[in-house]
A = this chain, B = another copy of it.
Amino acid sequence: MTASPALLTDHYELTMLQAALRAGTAHRRSVFEVFARRLPPGRRYGVVAGTGRLLEAVARFRFGPDELAQLERAGIDRETRDWLADYRFSGDVWGYAEGECFFPGSPVLVVEAPFAEAVLLETLVLSVLNHDSAVASAASRMTCASSGRPCIEMGSRRTHEEAAVAAARAAYVVGFAATSNLEAGRRHGIPTTGTSAHAFTLLHDTEREAFAAQVAALGTGTTLLVDTYDTLRGVRTAVEVAGPGLGAVRLDSGDLAILAHEVRAELDRLGATGTRIVVTSDLDEYAIAALAAAPVDGYGVGTRLVTGSGAPTAGMVYKLVARATSDDPAAPLVPVAKRSAGKPSVGGRKHAARRYDAAGTAVAELVTPSAVAGDGVRDLLVPLVRGGEVLAREDLEAARAVHRRSLGELPREAKQLSEGDAALPTLSSPDQPLPEG
């Protein structure tokens, strides 16, 4: 585990720094933008997540003796290491608020600082935003599909153990109710939940003994896993052991839509009309939607959540879009962009705003050279770091509110699971007409 995140960085950021320091270009004021060239195939919107984690990491980004010793082993020269020993990010950062929806080309983060300071953050910025936004973007479709029924994140075992904590956090930002991950509870204050696995039933000589042991320890409000042997018999045993006040049963295999109806009928027949049915087992947004008509009270989602439901990375890049003509802090910025074939970028610093119609529905993402103000337009870039000082601390409840508002403003088709275009067009001029709908 790393006290400073400074080495969670690609080697080439350091060789670029070394070369720029030697050339006298390292201190040119620079603007980097983070954006996704496209959404994953068929997706209507993306969700920015990880901003809070990123800002916390930037505040700890330091090169101590241990980091510098590794850089020496990696061949970074003494001049560069001496400069890094005093490294503090002194620049400004703006970004989309955590939880905000984004579209192709949206500048979700803008970093302005001397090149030397800004280039060092590239890898960490992208790691955090690409991972967390990928999970949040998938998770948001799942909470849309669940139509208000609670979703629980339980994918820790299907991803890297630290990515699991971040995934739980990203899912919570977009409306998941809880997580199975205890560290996410400790680190981020997210509610944690869990009861038992098949192993617990198998440990005991009978299913009845297992249920009795669980109820004795956790109370009748617990969730009993009823599908180890015969599911409907498991339901009857569960109610016999816990009584009709049993909190919930969990189904983790079989045809969940059919089983949920059968289990609901059996619970009701037994008088356990308040006992909820929680389903798990390889759920994704489509499986959740397919269960909309089934008597299901909650969804536990694992693998497909933590792997971004087919899009495990958000595809964001960190591109230099403008830089000063000299290292004079007053030197003007000039726009820059790669020009050869493939992966083109648009040079120059961009502003970002969202335009609304008279009903308050978002109609376009404005990514423009100049700021756009006026009625029916909302500025999307909020200050996150000023003069090296992190302005915002992590606030997941605020991020949840941002996401609810942002999603609520999108046109209705944004929430369709079917494949389609981005829900908003990205316009590079406020005068550009909206594409035909």
What residues make up the interface of A, taking CB atoms closer than 8 Å to B?
A: 1-3, 5, 7-16, 18-23, 25, 28, 30, 32, 57, 66-67, 70-71, 73-74, 77, 115, 119, 122-124, 126-128, 130-132, 154, 156-166, 180-183, 185-186, 192-200, 202-205, 209, 212-214, 216-218, 222, 227-231, 252-254, 281, 303, 306-308, 312-313, 318-320, 323, 325, 336-343
Contacts and interface: CB of A to CB of B under 8 A. Distances in A.
A339 B229 contact: yes
Given A198-B338, A202-B336, A7 B183 contact: yes
A208 to B, nearest CB: 12
Contacts of A5: 161
Contacts of A22: 213, 216-217
Given A157-B10, A194-B12, A307-B313, A216 B19 contact: yes
A320 B198 contact: yes
Contacts of A18: 217-218
Contact of A32 (B157, B161, B199, B205): B199
A216 B159 contact: no
Most chain-B Cβ atoms within 10 A of its Cβ — which of A165, A183, A196, A199? A199
Contacts of A200: 16, 19-20, 119
- Copy count, this protein chain: 2
Residue among A127, A166, A205, A341 facing the most chain B CB atoms (10 A cut-off): A127
A182 B70 contact: yes
Nearest to A24: B213
Contacts of A281: 342-343
A182 B14 contact: yes
17 contacts: A1-B3, A12-B196, A15-B196, A23-B209, A23-B213, A23-B216, A30-B203, A119-B200, A159-B313, A160-B160, A162-B163, A163-B163, A198-B338, A227-B340, A253-B342, A254-B341, A281-B343
A228 B8 CA distance: 26
Given A32-B199, A162-B163, A185 B74 contact: yes
B341 A15 contact: no
A262 to B, nearest CB: 12
